[in-house]
Structure formats: structure tokens, C-alpha cells
Structure 1
Amino acid sequence: MKYSKNKALTFLTMGVAAVSCTSQSAKQEDKRPNILFIMSDDHAYQAISAYGYGLNETPNIDRLAKEGAIFTRACVTNSISAPSRAVLLTGKHSFVNGKVDNVQPFDWDQPNFPKLLQSDGYQTGMIGKIHLDGIPQGFDYSMVLPGQGDYYNPDFLINGERVRKEGYCTDIITDAVLDWLKNKRDPDKPFCLLYHQKAPHREWLPAEKYYKEYTKKTFKEPAILFDDYEGRGTAAKTQEMNILKNQNWAGDSKLYPEVMEKLGIKETSDWGINALKNNLGRMNAEQRAAWDSVYMPINEEFKKIYPTIKSDSAALMRWRYQRYLQDYLACIASVDEGVGKVLDYLKENGLDENTIVVYTSDQGFYLGEHGWFDKRFMYEESFRTPLLVRYPKEIKEGTRIDKLVQNLDFAPTLLDYAGVEIPDEMQGESFRDLASGKTDQWRDAVYYTYYEYPAIHMVKRHYGIATERYKLIHFYYDIDEWELYDLEKDPHEMHNVYNDPAYAEVREMMHDRLTALRQKYGDSDENDRRFLKEYLEAIKR
């Protein structure tokens, strides 16, 4: 059979096209996933409606739970901001990566997962809050808040250059994320973008649209708002995290100094009045006028009721609790709105199916439980952290995972998804197969450390181990006390059973497990003494 030159050319063209299509198809099948890692600061799991506590509504964050996995026992290795973020990046415990508290410097020269992704072909970006000193390493683009950052008209370090942005911080960060996805991203490369919000960190300054709404709301009090700490030891009794006693009247409750003076209210520290003045001082005239139109009437109303409740500690606690929750949850509303915008962008631009989206916080937070705000303790509300993960290619909709996943596991998990070798020095484990349902085998105990004492909030130094049912904590340095909790019978950790004869075998078992975990991860009393010495020297300077 003879073929004409045109027919031969036609078949050749068809063959090339077929090979090309096959090649493109294979390339598409082998395409590594994008990674969008969203972290907020101090976002309690109780304040995500998917967790079922009924405090507020977070419909956009909830989408990740509906379309992916919600982790109910995710937790941290060290419940304080900078150390938690160092663990996220390095996949190593604080005593290994060196960032044990908010005082010690962070060594950016050590390996971190964005560096490894970057060197393996990923385009990397970091936008928002990192709270680690120095210029971030491992990112093609970084736009980070210096230190804690500011809610209104914040400064950013854009690839190291300081720039002030006009507007509300949460919205600015979201807009920068969208701009990066639209205009700075290389569409031929997989990306890893860290999208980190300052909110809802103290002092909780909401955006105008939400403080106008949330200051009118009333929120349900936790059953243990008036905890007397009788079932616990020295650490719980001597902390300085109580909403009534230790929150700032000006900075936190937003009482104006002139109102405090008129009522004879003394601030808990100079910090409170200075914080309010600095925060409001960053606002432009329009922002300040809008703020005063809502918060001035709150101040005027408090002037009226204060004489009748000033001697009633329960009434004052209730007032301060509502003020706290109104501002805190209003800040979260902006975070949730931003998550929705970014998820919509991914979907509208065909990126949602091949993008792993993680939502988490740097730790948990107290929303009045035990009468507290802040974090630090190994007790559940600050030890546990929200974690939701969406990846349609592997994670089924509506997945619920009750295993003890830690922030220690983020780095190895994301490297696993990207097909990048996990360094031996990383101490976490990939939970990829756990999330996909390929296995239900997982660790049954996790290790925790906390070092920043003496310091604000005065939470004692401690370390401990948690299993699915029990928790053993050792408070040390200026005390030597042990606490043991049965989370099945006592989920709020109100009764220390360490010296209860009925738990003698459990206590011995937990001590053995704790010793084994300390050996596994390389921790010791010598570490504790070394970090204490370095900390005390640093705070003296």
C-alpha cells in the first residue's frame, strides 16, 4: 500500500500530537500538589463552629471540615507562639531546634520544610505573621509582620524592606495572598504558600464591620468560668491569666483611660494604657471616628453600671468575659472571611483539586475556661489546637480523625505530599496515610514542654506526656509537683489524681511512658537546666 506525501505527513502529525497529549497527560498526572498552609494566632478550637461548641459561626473554615478532614485531638509541643512556629518549620521539638521560648533567638540557618520544597522546585511564599526574628529563609517571597505586628495600618517587611500598609491587618494579609496567587505565582511550578494571620492575637482589635456587629452579641459562659482551682496544684493557683484579675482594663477591655480615672479603676500594669494608646494611635481619623462611635457608648454604659457592680466580682467577671469574647470572636470573623475569599479563588481558577489546604493555629487558647485567657499550660484548651485539612485527591469529605497529631508532624507531612525526602533529623511523622484512611495506626502518646517562666502570666515551667485517656505533667524549677488527669472521667482537668491510690498503676505506667518519650526525643533534666540558665541571663539583659 502506498501513501501520499500528504497522508504520511498527516499520520506523522497525528502521531506527534498523540505522543504530545500522552506526555502532557502523564505530566498532569505526576503534577505535585500545591500547598496552602493557613495559620492564625491564638485561634481556639472552641471558636471554630465545625468543632461544635456553639460560640460563633465560621462557615468558610468549616468548608475545610466538610470537604476534608477535621482533627479533634491535634495538639502542640509547646503552647506559645514563636516556639510553636519554629516547630512547624523544622519538624523538631523546641529543645532540639533551639527556640524554647519567645526570648531566645531562632536559627534560620537550620533546615526547614520550605527550604527543602524550594530546593526541589516549589515556588515558596510567606505572608503574614511568623514572630521569629531575622529574615525568613526558604521563601522566594516574604511579606511578614515585624514582631507581633499591628491590627491597624501595620508595617510589613517585604523581602526585608519595611513598608507601611494602610488598612486592617487581616484584610491586608488576605489581599496580599490573593495578589501573590494571581500575579506573583509561576503557574508552571507547584507552590507552597504560608498564609499567616495576626488575628485573633491580643489585644483583639476587630475590623469596623465586625465590631459593630459583635459588640451587640452576648456569648454563653463556660461552665468552669468561676473555677477555684481546688483540685489542682500550685501552678494553676498562682498563674496570672485570670480574665477579671489579669486582663488589662484599657488594652483588653477597651476602657478609655479618662473613664478609668473617673471611676477610680487602677490598671493592672502600664502595659494596658500604653497598648490602647498605641493601638488607637495608629488609626487614621476616619478609623478612629468609627471606633469611637461604638466603643465610646460601651464606656459610657460601663460608667453607669460600675457603681452597682464594683464590689461584685462575679458581675465584673461576667462583664469582662463578654467584652473579651466580643472582640476576640469579631477578629475571627475577619479571618474566616479571608479564608472564604482564598478558597473561592482556588476553586474559580481550577486550583482547588490539586491544592492541599491546611487550617490551624499556633496553639489553643482559653476562652474563659478556668476563668482564663491566654495559653501556655498543657491543659487541654491550650494544648489542643484546631486542625482541618482539605485535599480532594486523597482525603474523603467529612473525615474525622481522633488521633494525637502534633504540630511536630506538619513539616514531614507536607514533604511527604510533595514527594520530597524527609530528613532523619525531623522528629515528627507524616500523617498523610492517616488522613487518607490508608491506615489507622498512629502514635498513642505525645510529649510537651513549656519553658517561659518567670514571665508574663507566670505559668510554671513544665513538661509532660498525654495519651488518648491520661495526662501526666511535671511542674518544676521553683516547685516540684506532679499532676495526673483521667481525661475520660475528668475532661476539664479539675481533679488531680496523682496521689489517688486507685490510680497507682496508671501513674507508674505514665511515668514509664514519659521516661521513654524523653529518651526517644532526646530531652533531659540537663536540657531544662541549660535553657533555664540561658533564659534567666537573657531576661536580665
Structure 2
Amino acid sequence: MGVLGHAGGLHAAPAAAKPNVLLMMSDDLAATLGCYGHPVAKTPNLDALAKRGVQFDQAYCQFPHCNPSRASMMSGLRPNTTRVTDNGDNLYKNIPGVLTLPHHFRQQGYATARYGKIFHLGVPTGEESMDDPQAWDFGLPFRDERPYPPTRVSDVKVKAGKKQGLPWQETTGPDSNMVDGEFAEKAVGWLEKRDSTKPFFLAVGFHRPHLPLVAPAKYFDLYPFDSITLPESPADDEADIPEPARNGAVPGYTLTSTPEQRRAAIRAYLACVSYMDAQAGVVLEALKRLGLEENTIVVFSGDHGWHLGEHGLWHKRSLFEESARVPFIIAAPGTKGVGKRSTSLVELLDVYPTLCDLAGLPAPDVLQGKSLRSVLEDPGVSIHDAAFTQARRGKNAEYWGRTVRTKRWRCTEWDEGRNGIELYDHDADPHEYKNLAEDPQHAAVLKELRGLLAEKLPPIEVAKK
């Protein structure tokens, strides 16, 4: 069947017995949630979701860049298979007839709707759409989210701008004046008016905290400037980091701002996270109000992580923990792991087979992830020995990186090791400050992990555009 797959011969459960699905995603979100232990983040709605679901503490994207990550997650296929490695690659041209997650649910009789960014979309322009036209009964049309509402004069007197720091803006007016508030409001409207004879698959993709860091002023007020600190790191942190992984390797992401500008941008990032959390809360509250909570599987995830100065980095597209790891929560009614945290290694590839399993739908036979049902029943269970992530860096994305994360280790290669190798021991070094790749004491571990990378992630054949 190639990579198209089929759901061969299995019979789905009767419509009345099928659970609903609510998939919520946040763009460029690191593990900066209260439930993930961030010291100042205020995210009460997602924290509450974690308490009625399972919070996965070691979940990883397959490619920390918007289009590659989302194409992989929504197709259930690794980037080696999708050949989507930048925002211009087209999943549907690379794999004609690919059956994406929402399209599959639609074929199985679900009412499907999309509000916001689920597949790739340029933010804030509303262009570059890689949406699956066959996935949705209804998809809210994309648009440029600008102009933003009027600005409130900030108490933080730090000049912001692309050259000086990351741009941020405190806006006036209600939450619905910005697109994430609009997505939440209209998604609730769809829930209220949907065809109640069908189970639903509702996907809500929030833009924030993707740049620009713009949110209503009240969310900035949650974060006094003096509460914002910069990540601490050794003075020589960069010394053992290979060139492709360093600050400056991706020119557009080069961090040159002052410490005060970085603190102001971190404050703005957290304000955007709190704004996004509030909009997630609007949708979750509607589920409860409409009596849908007890029969709706809720999945919340970032598409990849984000750097806020760790290792001197800002933005995404790195293979350090902060970029590869994602916040990931599943609340599945009737499962036994409610309110617990799991340290099981998870890949975003697992979303597709998990939802098929929980909904009683046949899973396409080409999916490359695993169902997390057993972990939802017992969060102490582990289903993966390793999680894999790939990235491209460099002025022209010429450096190809691949990394494997096990419970203890992270091993990263750049161009199969020709442009650098990294090895980090998370038991002793959870922030990945000490590269052990040249330490003979760990030669056996390094050899084993590099062999695993070569086996699992061969070089990607770039699709012709």
C-alpha cells in the first residue's frame, strides 16, 4: 500500500458509541506551563486539564519547525517519509492521497471542523496554508491577523524591535479582538450548532505564543517585570557545542539583544501563553456547559518547543531539549491514569494511532507511531525506548541534524557526525551543558546511540519543488 495505507476491513463502532475528539494546539509553545513546573507561568486552564488527564513530561516533536512537525503529526509519518523539512514543502505533493488524521475521522463518519492553525500556516500573514482540503466539513477561512488592536503604553520601558530584541505589544480591548479569541469563540459556536447525531472531531489551533508577541494588556499584567529572570548557563556553555547548533547558525534567529530586552521578550512570551491558555479555557468550559466533557477525548499539544535564551539561543529549529520537547496532555474519559504524570517517552507520531484506538476506529496500517492507550491506563508504563527528532539549520538550511532521546541520554549528529556530535547525560546534566561526545568513558553509549540514529533516521531525500 506504500504510504497511503488503508484501514483494511475493520468495522468502526456505531456512531452513538463513538467518543468526540477535541484537538487543541499552540504554536511555538515550550513547556512553559504551570503544570510543567515553570516558576511564574500562569496557565490555570491547561493546569486543570492536566489534573483530569495524563500529563506527558517527555513528549517530543519529530521536527522543530512548523510545517515539518505538523505534517508529521497529522499524517502519522516521520519526516523521512513525508520529506517535509521546511515550510515550503508540500505533504500532498510528496505523498499524493495521504490520509491525514482529521480526514480519516471524517471518512469514518465524524463531523470535522477547524478553527485556526492545525496544518502549517504563515503567522501573522495567514498565507502559506498547507491545510488538508479533504479533512474538514468546515474550516474557518485564513486571514492576516493584522492590524492588531490599539496599543497600551507599557510600564516596561524597554525598546523592542527585530534588531534590538523580539517585538512585543500590549493591546487593548477584549480577547476576541485577536485571532485566538476569535477561534475559541467561533469554535464554541460550532459546538452549539453542530449536527448532534454525529460524533465530532474539532481542531482548534491557537497562534500564540508564535511571534509577534502580541496579547491583551491584562495578560502582561500577570507578570511584573522584576519577576522575569534569564536562564542561567555556564560561561563556557558554547565551547563544546558544534557550529551548526550554536547561536548565529540560523541568521534570522541570531540573538543579539540586551539582557533587559530579553527579559521583556520573555515577559511578553509568557503573557501570550496566558492569553492562549485563557482561550483554551473558553473551549473547555463550553464542553462542560454543553454536557460533552464526559464523552470527549481532549488532546492538547505544542507543535514543537522554543528557546528563551538557553544555550544563547532564541526561536526553534534546534535539537536541544527546549526545542524538541513539547507540552502534551491527553484527557480521555474512562481511562485510569486521570490526574497523573507520565515520564514515558512519547512522539507526536503517537497522536494519530492513539486517537484511532480510543475512538474505536481502524488505524491506517502505515502509521509510524504507537497508541498511548496503555499509558493512559497506567502512566507508569513505557512504550518507547527512544524518541527521535530531526532539524535543519544554517544560512541555507544546509546542516542536517538528527537526535535520539532515551530516558537517560540525548545523542545528536550534524550531517551524520561530519559537522559535529553531541552527547548529554540527563541524569547528571538535565540542561545539556556538558557535551560528552569526546569522553572515552562514554564511547560505548555513543556508539550504540549513533547506530540507532543511522538505523532509524537515514538521510532524507529532499523532494523536488
> Distance in 2 between the 1:144 and 1:376 partners?
28
- SS of the equivalent of 1:353 reads helix
| Deviation larger for 324-333 or 392-401 | 392-401
What's the counterpart of residue 141 of structure 1?
A: 138
Deviation at 1:469, TM superposition (A): 0.9
Q: Which has the higher strand share?
A: 2
What's the counterpart of residue 190 of structure 2?
A: 180
> Distance in 1 between the 2:439 and 2:400 partners?
24
Read off the aligned partner of 1:390 and give its amino acid letter: A
Deviation per residue, 1:306-364 (Å, 9 max, x gap): xxxxxxxxxx6320121111211111121111111211111122111111111110001
What's the counterpart of residue 119 of structure 1?
A: 107
What's the counterpart of residue 425 of structure 1?
A: 366
Relative distance call for 1:151 and 1:379 in structure 2 (3 A) is: farther
Read off the aligned partner of 2:17 and give its amino acid letter: K
> Distance in 2 between the 1:420 and 1:206 partners?
39
Deviation at 1:210, TM superposition (A): 2.4
Q: Is the 2:356–2:363 contact (alpha carbons within 8 Å) kept by the matching residues of 1?
A: yes
What's the counterpart of residue 89 of structure 2?
A: 104
Alignment of 1:128 onto 2:128: no
> Distance in 2 between the 1:190 and 1:111 partners?
19
> Distance in 1 between the 2:77 and 2:360 partners?
20
The one of 30, 34, 52 equivalent to 1:49 is: 34
- SS of the equivalent of 1:386 reads strand
Relative distance call for 1:151 and 1:504 in structure 2 (3 A) is: farther
Read off the aligned partner of 1:467 and give its amino acid letter: T
What's the counterpart of residue 275 of structure 2?
A: 334
Q: Is the 1:449–1:462 contact (alpha carbons within 8 Å) kept by the matching residues of 2?
A: yes
Once the two structures are superposed, the pairs formed by residues 86-101 of structure 1 within 5 Å of their partners are 86-101=71-86
Give unpaired runs (5+ residues) of structure 2: 1-12, 122-128, 150-174
Relative distance call for 1:243 and 1:60 in structure 2 (3 A) is: farther
What's the counterpart of residue 67 of structure 1?
A: 52
- SS of the equivalent of 1:495 reads coil
What's the counterpart of residue 354 of structure 1?
A: 295
- SS of the equivalent of 2:423 reads strand
Relative distance call for 1:441 and 1:329 in structure 2 (3 A) is: closer
Larger radius of gyration: 1
Q: Is the 1:445–1:468 contact (alpha carbons within 8 Å) kept by the matching residues of 2?
A: yes
Relative distance call for 1:509 and 1:58 in structure 2 (3 A) is: same
What's the counterpart of residue 23 of structure 2?
A: 37
Deviation at 1:50, TM superposition (A): 0.4
Q: Is the 1:227–1:371 contact (alpha carbons within 8 Å) kept by the matching residues of 2?
A: no
Deviation at 1:403, TM superposition (A): 1.0
Once the two structures are superposed, the pairs formed by residues 301-450 of structure 1 within 5 Å of their partners are 317-437=258-378, 440-450=381-391
TM-score by length of 2: 0.82
Read off the aligned partner of 2:135 and give its amino acid letter: G
- SS of the equivalent of 1:496 reads coil
> Distance in 2 between the 1:321 and 1:482 partners?
29
Deviation per residue, 1:198-229 (Å, 9 max, x gap): 11001211123324554756312221286640
What's the counterpart of residue 276 of structure 1?
A: none
> Distance in 2 between the 1:115 and 1:245 partners?
38
- SS of the equivalent of 2:185 reads helix
What's the counterpart of residue 413 of structure 2?
A: 474
> Distance in 2 between the 1:506 and 1:213 partners?
45
Alignment of 1:152 onto 2:148: yes
> Distance in 2 between the 1:104 and 1:485 partners?
32
Percent same amino acid at aligned positions? 30
What's the counterpart of residue 202 of structure 1?
A: 211
What's the counterpart of residue 231 of structure 1?
A: 240
Deviation at 1:59, TM superposition (A): 0.5
Relative distance call for 1:512 and 1:27 in structure 2 (3 A) is: closer
> Distance in 2 between the 1:478 and 1:503 partners?
16
Relative distance call for 1:75 and 1:478 in structure 2 (3 A) is: closer
Q: Is the 2:249–2:395 contact (alpha carbons within 8 Å) kept by the matching residues of 1?
A: no
Q: What's the Cα RMSD here?
A: 2.8
Deviation per residue, 1:147-204 (Å, 9 max, x gap): x854737xxxxxxxxxxx9821111111111111112x11111111111001100121
Deviation per residue, 1:269-293 (Å, 9 max, x gap): xxxxxxxxxxxxxxxxxxxxxxxxx
Read off the aligned partner of 1:140 and give its amino acid letter: D
Alignment of 1:192 onto 2:201: yes
> Distance in 2 between the 1:386 and 1:459 partners?
29
Alignment of 1:83 onto 2:24: no
Q: Is the 1:243–1:320 contact (alpha carbons within 8 Å) kept by the matching residues of 2?
A: no
Read off the aligned partner of 2:432 and give its amino acid letter: E
> Distance in 2 between the 1:150 and 1:217 partners?
30
Equivalences, count: 416
What's the counterpart of residue 167 of structure 1?
A: 177
- SS of the equivalent of 1:339 reads helix
